Amino acid sequence: MKLSAILLLAGSGLRFGSLLPKQFQDLLGKKVYRFALDTLISSGYFHEILLTIQPEFTPLLDPHPDCKIIFGGNTRQNSVHLALKQCSNPTHVLIHDGVRPFLTKHLLQLHVDKLLQGCKNINTCIPSSDTINILKDKEITSIPPRSHFLRGQTPQSFTFESLYQAHGQTTKQYTDDCSLMLDAGHEVSYVTGNETNIKITSLLDLEIAKTIQRNFTSFSC
Domain extents in the chain = 3-219
- What is the spatial distance between Cα 118 and Cα 57, in angstroms, rounded to a whole number? 38
pLDDT at 8: 98
CA distances from 165 to 6, 51, 85, 124, 171 (A): 17, 21, 11, 22, 12
pLDDT at 96: 98
* pLDDT at 15 exceeding the cut of 90: no
Return mean pLDDT, the chain: 93
Pick the CATH number of 3-219 from 3.30.450.90, 3.30.1360.200, 3.90.550.10, 3.30.420.40: 3.90.550.10
- What is the spatial distance between Cα 152 and Cα 178, in angstroms, rounded to a whole number? 9
User: Tens of pLDDT along 61-101?
Assistant: 998 888 999 999 999 999 999 999 999 999 999 999 999 99
Q: H-type helices in 57-143, by residue range?
A: 76-85, 105-116
Q: What residues contact 216, with CB distance under 8 A and at least 6 apart?
A: 102, 196
Burial 131-168, CB ≥16 within 10 A → b, else e? eeeeeeeeeeeeeeeeeeebeebbbbbbbbeebbebbe
Q: Report residue 217's pLDDT band, with 50, 70 and 90 as the boundaries.
A: low
Q: H-type helices in the chain, by residue range?
A: 32-43, 76-85, 105-116, 160-169, 177-183, 203-214, 216-219
Q: Report residue 143's pLDDT band, with 50, 70 and 90 as the boundaries.
A: very high
- What is the spatial distance between Cα 115 and Cα 154, in angstroms, rounded to a whole number? 15
The backbone torsions φ and ψ at residue 80, rounded to the nearest 5 degrees and listed phi first, read: -60, -45
The backbone torsions φ and ψ at residue 153, rounded to the nearest 5 degrees and listed phi first, read: -130, -165
